[in-house]
Structure 1
Amino acid sequence: MIVAVYERPKDIPDSYVARAHIWVHGVKAPYASPAIYIARDTLDAVRAAIPEDMSRICRQPMDDPTIVESYM
């Protein structure tokens, strides 16, 4: 599972959002709901909601521009 943190994505433009992306055998799981997310007013509030045992991954050049960081 990878959790991507977004700053004001188009579908929730007034919040920071953390979305779970579930991968199985290198492919995004088709049964994973796009509704698995948390939304908060601040980036720190979203970070506080992510489990402590997840490691932060810096933003990659090919990421969507609204992605701030990811966790796995």
Structure 2
Amino acid sequence: MDLPYWETEGYGVPFGFEQFEEIARMLGQLKGKAIISLNNHPAIREVFSAYHIEIRIKDSYQVTSNI
């Protein structure tokens, strides 16, 4: 799952913290595995604290224009 990052802007759709909490609850009911891509934010780490968390971001992003 590639969810909106918490406390960032630019997605243009509402996605409240209660939705992260609901997803964390639903993960506990899965009969399989899931991978979720999220930002490294203390509140996100807390809500998903019952699950294995890996932080692997080494990339940097840059927006450029050739106009």
TM-score normalised to structure 2 length: 0.28
Q: Which has more strand, going by share of residues?
A: 1
Q: State the structure with more CA Rg.
A: 2
Q: Which has more helix, going by share of residues?
A: 2
